[in-house]
Amino acid sequence: MTNRILKTTITATALAALVPLAAQAQPAEVIAGLHGEPDSLNPLYDTNLPALNIYYNVFDRLATIDGNGDVVPDLATSWSFNDTLDQWTFTLAEGMTCQDGAPMDSSDVKFTFDSAMGDSTSRLGGYLGLVDTVEAPSPTQVVINLKSAFAPFDRQVSLIPIVCQEAYEEMGKEAFGRKPIGSGPYQVTNWVSGDSIEMVRYDGFWGDAAKYDKVTFKPIPDETTRAAAVQSGDVDVALLGPAQVDGVKQQGSVDVVAQDANRVVFLGFNGGAPFLGDQKMRKAVDLSIDRTLISQRLLNGAATPTAQIIAPVTFGFDPTMEPTKADVEAAKALVQEAGYDGTPIKISYPTTGLPQIDQLAQAIAYFMDQIGVKTELDPMEQNTFYGNWFGKSFPGIFIFAFAPSVMDAHLPFYMLLAKDQQGYIYDDRIDTLMAKQVGENDAEARAADLAEISAINAERTIYAPLFIDSYIYGVSKDIDWSPRPDGMMVFR
């Protein structure tokens, strides 16, 4: 690897010459370019994406989501629930230890849940609003009592990294946030703010040994700088922006690896704004958009047109639904039927965080112009945009995205479509189906309920789904690493 000397013995070097290249050992160290730097490494208080990349390598959870979007065991080897889905029992593996050598058992799980729920400033506690009490009747058993039925609770616990109680209480939350102690395969050894976070293999890990001796995360917020860093060998793995992909491919020094994401980009409509309360007008906008052109030309093939606000990897996705095909003439007819009078409609969007967002907003405006609808672009700094989203104060159309970490349709449907949440347009049928699916213990029946919700959204054009995003990485040729749909850099 460029700018790196690997410690190998003469014997190992000689043996490497006798085996095929693909069979040779992985490098001992990996450096990953992270798109931002955490504020803290305390999972109770920092739940932002940069920190989550560290947590996936350092902490364990009761259950986790794998690269296919399925919920699988982690600390818990199995779990069960009662008929009313409001009591969940998790059975833990035996012989687990924290990275300081202390035992890891049900008391650490209870401590993590209770600490998050008992502190109003804990961001982790926001994921546990349905939890009533947590019991630890034995070292290998955790019983979680909910306030009401919640079918995807096994997925919800994947959001909760389990901290080691003894170390947390001894260190305090601030010190723990700089050098946390978990039970995962890597242990944080050093954090130099603005430069790097270093992790080494924890040899006492109860599961499969970590792949690398050492993993270093370097915060590199700028896409162009990340692309240059991976091409030069300063880092081994880096997320690329759509604008960098072709250049990195042509340069050829690293592999370019793509992964369909759990994130869907869509248009939302303020149904209280002029004309947008009319379903015909919303459908006209939907029909005006050439999703294939956006995917192939604007995003260099790094996106897939879609008909749903959830991605295929998300539970509840309906593979039978087809994306809306552009039909300018049909859209023009609907605009006329809606009585549109030429008043400009604002298109609000965040200036960062979404792929080629300025160009995407301009493309949407162009498509709408082709059907006779005037627009006004309304770019916003990201924090301002989120403030408008939470405040439900967009003046017209807005471009947004949702990527449910638990890869289940409940959260995006609840936040975007349920009455009195973050949406502007409601349908009583959706609220009925939401109440039904959350108490449904048959997975197929629940999936059918969620698919029906997607069909209602398409029928009424409550949202206009645009495309499924992709995560594209530059990866050093001597690294065997696979990306995940949630964009987390995991080196287990």
DSSP secondary structure of 18-67: TS-GGGSPPPSEEEEEESS--S-S-TTT--SHHHHHHHHHH---SEEE-T
Q: For 241-398, where are the alpha helices, taking DSSP H only?
A: 242-251, 279-288, 291-293, 328-337, 357-370, 382-391
Q: What is the pLDDT of residues 162-187, one digit of tens each?
A: 999 999 999 999 999 999 999 999 99
pLDDT of residue 16 exceeding 50: no
Between CA 420 and CA 76, with CA 84 as vertex, the angle to 5 degrees is 100
Closest CA to 158 of 79, 103, 86: 79
Q: What is the pLDDT of residue 25?
A: 60
Q: How far apart are CA 229 and CA 33, in angstroms?
A: 8
Q: What is the value of pTM for the model shown?
A: 0.89
Q: What is the pLDDT of residue 243?
A: 86
pLDDT of residue 39 exceeding 90: yes
**Average pLDDT of 69-74?**
96
Q: What is the pLDDT of residues 110-137, one digit of tens each?
A: 999 999 999 999 999 999 999 999 999 9
**Average pLDDT of 316-335?**
98
Residue 485 · residue 407 · CB < 8 Å:
yes
Q: What is the pLDDT of residue 26?
A: 65
Q: Which amino acid is at 435?
A: A
Q: What is the pLDDT of residues 467-483, one digit of tens each?
A: 999 999 999 999 999 99
Residue 358 · residue 286 · CB < 8 Å:
no
Q: What is the pLDDT of residue 470?
A: 93
Q: What is the pLDDT of residue 5?
A: 33
Q: What is the pLDDT of residues 384-393, one digit of tens each?
A: 999 999 999 9
392-404: buried (b, 16+ CB within 10 Å) or exposed (e) per residue? Answer: eebbbbbbbbbbb
Q: What is the pLDDT of residue 19?
A: 40
Phi-psi region of 392 (alpha: psi -120 to 50; beta: other; left: phi over 0): left
Strand pairing partners for 468? 264, 304
Q: What share of the chain is helix, strand, coil (3-state, %, to 5)?
A: 35, 25, 45
Residue 107 · residue 75 · CB < 8 Å:
no
Average pLDDT of every residue of the chain = 93
pLDDT of residue 49 exceeding 70: yes
pLDDT of residue 7 exceeding 70: no
- How many residues make up the chain in this entry? 492
Query: Using CB atoms within 10 A of its CB, is residue 377 exposed (0-12), middle (13-18) or buried (19+)?
Result: middle
What single-letter DSSP state applies at residue 324? Answer: P
* 490's tokens: 């995991």
Strand positions, DSSP E, 67-118 = 71-73, 76-81, 87-92
Q: How far apart are CA 492 and CA 484, in angstroms?
A: 12
* C-alpha pair distances (Å), 325 with each of 14, 196, 288, 374: 59, 46, 9, 21
Q: For 215-340, where are the alpha helices, taking DSSP H only?
A: 223-232, 242-251, 279-288, 291-293, 328-337
Query: Using CB atoms within 10 A of its CB, is residue 95 exposed (0-12), middle (13-18) or buried (19+)?
Result: exposed
* C-alpha pair distances (Å), 191 with each of 48, 55, 123, 205, 299: 17, 14, 22, 21, 35
* 370's tokens: 């082709």
Residue 388 · residue 247 · CB < 8 Å:
no
Tell me the domains of the chain and their CATH numbers. 27-221 (3.40.190.10), 260-472 (3.10.105.10)
- Other Cβ atoms less than 10 A from the Cβ of 120: the count is 6
